[in-house]
Structure 1
Amino acid sequence: MIVGYARTSTTDQKAGLEAQLRDLRAACCEDIYQEEVSSVDTAKREKLAEALRFIRKGDVLVVSKLDRLARSVAHLNEIVKEIEGKGASLRILDMSIDTGTPNGRLMLNLLGSIAQFEREIMLERQREGIAKAKAEGRYKGRKPTARAKSEEVLRMVKEEELPAAEVAKRLGISRASVYRVLADRAAARG
Structure 2
Amino acid sequence: MQFKRLTGAIDTGTPSGRFFFHVMVRLAEMERDLTIERSCAGLEVARKFGWMPGKKRLMTESKVALARKPPDNDTPRREVAEHIVASLLTLYRWIPGASHS
TM-score by length of 2: 0.51
Compared CA separation, residues 94 and 143, structure 1 to 2 (3 A) = farther
Compared CA separation, residues 130 and 101, structure 1 to 2 (3 A) = same
Q: How does 1:132-143 map to 2 (within 5 A)?
A: 132-137=45-50, 139-143=51-55
Give deviations 1:45-82, integer Å, cap 9, x for gaps.
xxxxxxxxxxxxxxxxxxx3xxxxxxxxxxxxxxxxxx
% same residue: 26
1:182 is aligned to: 92
SS state at 1:143 partner: coil
Shift in Å, 1:135: 0.7
Matched, 1:117 2:30: yes
2:18 is aligned to: 105
Counterparts of 1:145 and 1:98 in 2: how far apart (Å)? 53
Higher Cα radius of gyration: 2
Counterparts of 2:95 and 2:7 in 1: how far apart (Å)? 54
Higher helix share: 1
Matched, 1:128 2:63: no
- How many residues of Structure 1 are paired with residues of Structure 2 in the alignment? 74
Q: CA RMSD in A?
A: 3.5
Shift in Å, 1:115: 1.1
TM-score by length of 1: 0.30
Shift in Å, 1:111: 1.3
Unaligned regions of 5+ residues in structure 2, if any? 60-84
Higher strand share: 1
